Chains A and B, each alone.
Chain A
Amino acid sequence: MKPRHAAPSREVIAPVSTAFIVASLLIALLVNLLPWPQSIVTFVPDFVSLTVLYWCIHQPRRFGFTTAWLLGLLMDVANGTLFGQHALAYAVLAYAGIVLHRRVLRFTMRDQVLHVIPLLLMTDLIVLAVRMAVGAELPGIGYFAGSFIGGLLWPAACFLLTLPQRLRPRSEYV
């Protein structure tokens, strides 16, 4: 069975600049650190993992494990959790993104979302497994809501993160 291919993009997009990758990761980290109200914090997706996944799928040569792993360490310190649990989760996420990047990009946006949700769920599960190994109890089902919401935000993330690449060549033509 053949996958439904996305219509090949007619746009020629410029290569992405390293500064933009760094900036996007910093902004994602910033959004994660926002003082979210305690009542909705479980539903807030992990923006860092979404951004990491985006760059792994779209720029697998530029963005890799080391960055993802270091970001995980940053998240662990910011969250005050055990050192290394987010690092482990992000490294596995980066691996999945890099291995699957050719496959995911051939699908339409809606089917990409169906790929992204399980990947984010897997990240959450790794963190959960580490927590349980140290002795935390099973959280409510609401714990996984963030991954689904994060998956649904995938199209928006793709739109925002390709924006500077689409804007640049056009301005050169004009």
Chain B
Amino acid sequence: MEHSPPPFFKHGPAPLARLLLCSLLSIALLISDAHYRYLGGARQVIAFALYPLQRLADAPGALATHLSEFLVTRGTLRSENARLTDQHMHDAVTLQKYRALELENAQLRGLLGMRERYPSGITAAEIVYSERDPFIRKVVIDKGTRQQIRAGQPVIDQAGVIGQVTRVYPWLAEVTLITDKQHMISVQNLRNGLRAVLAGHGADGQLELKFIPLNADFQSGDQLATSGIDGVYPPGLPVAVVAGIERNPAELFARIICKPLAGVANHAQVLVLSWENTAPPLPQEEHPAATKKTGKGK
């Protein structure tokens, strides 16, 4: 049965040649994307074409949510109402205290001549889907450049930090979660003010404090909040709690595993903070000895 197609049919180049062409093109794309980041525009165009499909894929889940919201019993609504009223009373008291504190804080800051720390606005967004690549922890939310979302904005939920916006499309934005392996966040121990770098672990619900000496004062149960010195996250947002510490004398650093406070993997609604980093720019390296030592500074 082996037969080759008659030569008078048009074929174009042989399969192997085409494979080589495609592979070369792919590799060229890979290299230009990995090293030069030229392809933002192409990505935007393809993302634009994909947008209807993405929304369509999200539709069944959204429909199910709407249905289950529609089909709640009166009892559930009443108990929830009671709970919310209760919560509201609690919050009202806290809020009054907070207002007083805010006022006092503003006065004190004015006295000290310091800048305001939170001139922030909040955009609510919904997670459209989480990416299926097991290597990365990213989600896609339904707000983009059209809603003034910019890359670098922090994303939180009611309990703490979820991640930051890393790529923006017209109607969608990609959020890198704090559990992503590439993601680092500068934190501070609320118990004693120790600063540290918290890195994602690549696995769900696990973070790791990096480069902490063996004898550093970290305990299980310590709360970690953003320190604000990375210029990405505003200071004081709760991030994680220390879950386990392993001090192995054979290693240079302690292994400190933390659990995120926010529901990083299980949320549909998130908040995007628009936060202007008002810190002054980093000082130039001016020390003549220092510049001489490092050679020609950039």
Contact = CB atoms under 8 A, between A and B. Distances in A.
A42 B133 CA distance: 8
A164 interface: no
Given A33-B57, A41-B130, A95-B16, A78 B26 contact: no
Q: Which of B2, B15, B128, B265 has the most CB of A within 10 A?
A: B15
B26 A82 contact: no
Given A80-B136, A84-B26, A91-B26, A35 B130 contact: yes
A17 to B, nearest CB: 21
A34 B129 contact: yes
A98 B133 CA distance: 27
Contacts of B46: 73-74, 77
Interface residues of B, number: 48
A80 B180 CA distance: 13
Contacts of A154: none
A88 B136 contact: no
A82 B130 contact: no
Contacts of A88: 22-23, 26-27, 30
Contact of A33 (B22, B47, B53): B53
A128 to B, nearest CB: 9
Contacts of A94: 19
B235 interface: no
Contacts of B265: 38
Interface in B42-94: 42-43, 46-47, 49-50, 53-54, 56-58, 60-61
Nearest to B202: A137
B109 to A, nearest CB: 40
A73 B44 CA distance: 12
Given A33-B53, A73-B46, A95-B15, A82 B34 contact: yes
Q: Which of B27, B42, B53, B167 has the most CB of A within 10 A?
A: B53
Interface in B100-145: 128-136, 138, 140
B255 interface: no
Contacts of B134: 41-42, 139, 142-143
Q: Which of B133, B134, B181 has the most CB of A within 10 A?
A: B133
A20 interface: no
A151 interface: no
A85 B50 CA distance: 18
B174 interface: yes
A83 B19 contact: no
Nearest to A29: B53
Interface in B238-277: 265
Q: Which of A31, A42, A68, A85 has the most CB of B within 10 A?
A: A85
Contacts of A130: 30
A127 to B, nearest CB: 9
A114 B287 CA distance: 68
Contact of A65 (B18, B53, B130, B174): B18
B39 interface: yes
A98 B15 contact: yes
A158 interface: no
A78 B23 contact: no
B29 interface: yes
Interface string A65-92: 1101100111001111111110110011
A99 B30 contact: no
Contacts of B25: 69, 84, 87
B157 interface: no
A131 B189 CA distance: 34
Interface in A130-154: 130-131, 134, 136-137, 139, 142-143
- List of 4 A-B pairs having minimum Cβ-Cβ separation, nearest first: A84-B29, A88-B26, A91-B22, A33-B57
Given A91-B23, A95-B19, 14 more contacts: A33-B50, A33-B129, A41-B130, A65-B15, A65-B22, A66-B22, A77-B47, A78-B50, A79-B133, A80-B167, A82-B33, A88-B22, A91-B22, A139-B134
19 contacts: A30-B53, A34-B57, A34-B129, A35-B61, A38-B130, A38-B265, A44-B132, A64-B18, A65-B18, A72-B26, A77-B50, A79-B132, A80-B138, A84-B28, A87-B22, A88-B22, A91-B22, A95-B19, A99-B15
